[in-house]
Structure formats: C-alpha cells, structure tokens
Amino acid sequence: MSYAHAQNNQVRADGTAFAYRELGPHGGVPLILLNHWGAVLDNFDPRIVDGLARKQRVIAIDYRGIGRSGGIASETVDEMARDTIALIRAMGFDQVNLLGFSLGGFVAQDVALKAPDLVHRLILTGTGPAGGQGIDRVGATSWPLMLKGLVTMRDPKTYLFFTSTTNGRQAASAFLKRLKERKAGRDKGPTPRALLRHLKAIKAWGQQVPQDLTRLLMPVLIANGDNDIMVPTALSHDMARRIPNAQLVIYEDAGHGAIFQYHADFVTKALAFLAQ
C-alpha cells in the first residue's frame, strides 16, 4: 500500500467527523501528521508518508472544516489542538508521536503542552513558537507570492516553500508532481473561508504570549531550511534553545519546504529519531 492509494476514512470526535488516511504496520506508537495552512490530505508528500510508513503506523488527518472533515475551520491554534486531542482519543490511542509542518507544528506544540502524557515524541518542521517574530506576517508574505503564482501560472508553493535557486526550483517541480500522484479518491480543496480562518489562527499564534517550551520534556526533532521566508529559520534555532531535549537539523539552500526537498534524508533522520 502506498499513500497514493490509501483509503479515505472518517472518525467522529466531539460530534464532528474528521477525515484521515493511514498506512504502515500496526503496533508501537502511531505517528499523527499535522499539515500546513489550508492543507488537505492530498498535500502530504507521498515520499515522506510512504518512507515513514515502512516502519511506522502513519495517520494523516484533515483539520475541522478542511477537505472531507466536517464543521467550520478553526480560527485558533487552541481549537485545532483540542480537536487533535479529541481525535487521538476517539481513535483509542493512549500515546502518539506527532509530526507537525508549519501550522501543524503550532498545533503539535500546543497538543504536547496541553496533554504531555499523550505525546511520546515530537517532530516540528518549518514552524515556530507562539509569539515568534514574523509569524504574524505570514499573510503579508504569502499574498504577493500567491498572486505571482497566478500571474506565472505556477503553484504558489513554488515560491512559498522553496528557494529561487536551481536546486530549489527543481525540488519544487518534483514535489508538486508528487502531490498529483493520487488519481482516484482525491480530497476536496479548502474553501476561501477556511483559508482565511486558518490565516487568522496563524496571525493570532504569532501575536500571543510566548509559551513555556521548557515544559516540553519529550524528545523533540526540529527541521527547517536555512532560508524559510514564511516562518523564519531563526525561530527553529529559538525553539531548539528553549526545548530541553531538542535536536536541530537545518538543510542548506532550502526554504519552508525543506523536508520535501530533502525527503530521503529527512525520512532517515525521522525514523532514527522515532526508533530511539
């Protein structure tokens, strides 16, 4: 089974049906994937999901009001974290590993702080802490590059997730091609309303009082590119300094989507981290 052919499933939590896909061997601690602003199930990189699923039970989810999940998209990270905790418990898990990318990294941190006994290990990629400088400007950074995508007839993630170097452009093209590998049973794209509500949550995260990251006592792996223009790379270094048991990986000539550009290396490092 590959992620491109994984079955669409639903689980009800607190009265809402959440969409998810899973693959990989059962047994051990499952890995929950939390994705970026407006992302649906088809936005998870199949190379990363398939690579992790060689050794891990991997579960990718749609947030409330996104893709095939019911309800209205949340306007706060707090709500998304509470949804995630409810979903994990509805699935019957006592403990999980979390991998959060971008907005998903905000949610993963908040889940781990709200329910520390629920989170065994934490992987934070392309993300930053509450109150992190520059996070409240994600919208201001994104809109011009989204417009550039329309003008150039390219997916905006080309500009938002990758550098403008030759390596960056090649990585962007390969990543976007991978996202189209699934042909049947594709997810529903996000609505404009959902995108705006998520953006409101991101801005609020950047403006809120910093959280006490010394309370994250579980092992944490942090990964990013050396030139992340969406969630500044400096914030990855900041988290690594503040979290007691953190490992930091910074990829060269890479941006927000560094783990997609270096997917093979990232999967290797992530699996080694989860197996420790």
Tokens of 232: 């500044």
Contacts 24+ apart (CB under 8 A), 93-97: 93/30, 93/118, 94/118, 95/29, 95/119, 95/120, 96/29, 96/30, 96/31, 96/32, 96/120, 97/29, 97/30, 97/31, 97/32, 97/56, 97/121, 97/122, 97/123, 97/274
Q: For the chain, what percent of residues have pLDDT higher than 90?
A: 99
pLDDT, mean of residues 214-218: 98
Q: pLDDT tier at 1 (50, 70, 90 boundaries)?
A: confident
Q: How much is the mean pLDDT over the chain?
A: 97
pLDDT, mean of residues 18-36: 97
The answer, yes or no, to whether residue 56 has pLDDT greater than 90, is: yes
Task: Name the fold adopted by 3-275.
Answer: Rossmann fold (3.40.50)
Q: How many CB atoms are located within 10 Å of the residue 198 CB? A: 25
Q: What is the pLDDT of residues 116-160, one digit of tens each?
A: 999 999 999 999 999 999 999 999 999 999 899 999 989 999 999
Q: What is the pLDDT of residues 156-198, one digit of tens each?
A: 999 999 999 999 999 999 999 999 999 999 999 999 999 999 9
pLDDT of residue 120: 98
pLDDT of residue 170: 98
